[in-house]
Amino acid sequence: MISLYLLSILLSTALLIVFVKFVLSYTHKRILPPSPPALPFIGHLYLFKKPLHHTLVRISQRYGPITFLRFSSRPVLVISSQLLAEECFTTHDLCFANRPQLLSVKRSDGNIVGMGNANYGPYWRSLRKIAAVELLSPQQIDASSDVRAREVEDMARLIFKSWNKTCCIRSNRSDGMNKLELKTRIFEQSLNVLMTMIAGKRFYGDKIDDMEETKQFREAVGEHMASSGASNIEDFVPVLGLLDLNGVIKKRVHLVKQMLEMIQKLIDEHRTNRAEIKKTMISHLLELQRKDPEAYSDQIIRRISLNIFLAGTDTTANTIEWAMAHLLNNPQVLKKAAAEIDKSVGNERLINESDMDQVPYLGCIIREVLRLYPGAPLLLPHESREDVTIGGYKIPHGTMLLVNVYHIHRDPDIWEEPEKFMPERFDNGKAEGKFMIPFGMGRRRCPGEGLAMREVGLILGTLIQCFDWERTTNDLVDLTEGSSLALPKVVPLEAMYRPREAMMKILSGL
């Protein structure tokens, strides 16, 4: 029989343990960053409104540049300042090198991770090395410059051809201008560039008969981007993910399956017709596969190709669409850019990638667009691998990190008139050293940055050099933002255009 004395000791010990746990729990809560009131079970999901980056801007404006949220049971750290972003991606870059394994990604990708959603480790480092060294290095990008030149030339030819057919044949058109929906045209061109680089084939052009298939494919990519990132409630409430009432996961499954099957067919064609196919990314990877089959398996080739394919189409098209929207709203900027190209490149040939250093104002326009509309306004989400201290607060391991680049890029403490489109802020190195991370930062910075900048510069420069552009009405272009990983416009951009008189000879000869 236990003595009364021993029983009192045991009871006191138990009470002490409960008290210590309570104190520690209370202390832990106190050292987390500020947070809005949370609801049982759903946490802060009741605040979830799209576009998510705008919701997080409003929360940060009230609670500060570092906030702690709970998306149901998942802890989420939201960063909205330069200093804190630098702390996450420099001092603690390794800690935040993982990706949250979201339900929509795991189910749609069949648990086969690619470079974008793989956790940090040997597998990710291997994929990253293949992409950064074998496919997207400056040397490899230089080697494929003729592909981009041909495709952008073909884009200019098709736009000119459409104008010629509409405005020169119809005598009732006195203004000589034609209407163009820019997003579709630029998306098609971006897709052709990547398809040609990856597989030596074109997806769009004069001989494409099934335009319905083209439309469906474009919409599928848009759906994939819209369901990526951290903007799906289904990812945080398991029962909703299982029910998939909105069909988000089903759409992703269909797209990923379709794309992987298509890429495998391209791999098989390369393998079968090895002697007939010109140098492409796939042919280069198959050469490496013969030397190291495990490191360059078909599965890895499919995954890397898919990552490049998806990351380089919608983002490029959106960036150029935003640029053209602002140029239409600011015709003096468009006129200045055209004059710069006329002076530096002339009218006897099309602008090319080697001209970019000679047209710095065009570069200012692109940087200003990326400041206002970074390709991923929240970056891809990261996840902490261990407990870490950020901004003096203790962040538990397994916390999803969302860096609101959109908010940071519009910080009035960094940028004068941050909401205004003003390329001149980058003139002559005036913005040198100012914080911008449109392609991310640290280990997981986008390896395709160099390719993206070249392609955006070439396409935008060609549109400005070859054509005069005007708004379809006297009203300013609607700049309402949509909800997607890649920050699209809600209303696709339409514009009136005609060939510039000085470029008629070149365009007629394409």
Give the best-scoring range by mean pLDDT among 113-117, 132-136, 220-224, 367-371. 367-371
Average pLDDT over residues 321-337: 98
pLDDT of 306 over the 90 cut: no
- Residue 445: phi and psi, rounded to 5, are -60, 145
**Structural domains present in the chain:** 49-508 (1.10.630.10)
- pLDDT tens digits for 144-170? 999 999 999 999 999 999 998 887 665
pLDDT of 24 over the 50 cut: no
Higher pLDDT, 101 or 78: 78
- C-alpha of 133 from chain center: 21
Give the best-scoring range by mean pLDDT among 168-172, 294-298, 469-473. 469-473
pLDDT for res 18: 40
pLDDT of 208 over the 60 cut: no
Higher pLDDT, 175 or 273: 273
- pLDDT tens digits for 91-114? 999 999 999 987 766 665 555 567
Q: What is the pTM of this model?
A: 0.88
pLDDT for res 33: 97
pLDDT of 21 over the 70 cut: no
**pLDDT-wise least confident of 114-123, 224-233, 293-302, 472-481:** 224-233
Share of the chain above pLDDT 70, in %: 82
Q: Print burial letters for 270-285: b (CB count within 10 Å at least 16), e (below 16).
A: beeeeeebeebbbbbb
How confident is residue 221, by pLDDT bands cut at 50, 70 and 90? low
How confident is residue 250, by pLDDT bands cut at 50, 70 and 90? confident
pLDDT for res 158: 92
Q: Which of 182, 466, 454 is nearest to 323 (CA)?
A: 182
Q: Which of 49, 50, 185, 46 is nearest to 484 (CA)?
A: 50
pLDDT for res 424: 96
DSSP secondary structure of 246-279: T-HHHHHHHHHHHHHHHHHHHHHHHHHTTTTSPS
Q: What gap in Å lies between CA 214 and CA 232, rounded to an integer?
A: 27
Please provide the size of the chain in residues.
Answer: 510
pLDDT of 210 over the 70 cut: no
Higher pLDDT, 185 or 84: 84
Beta partners for 180? 495
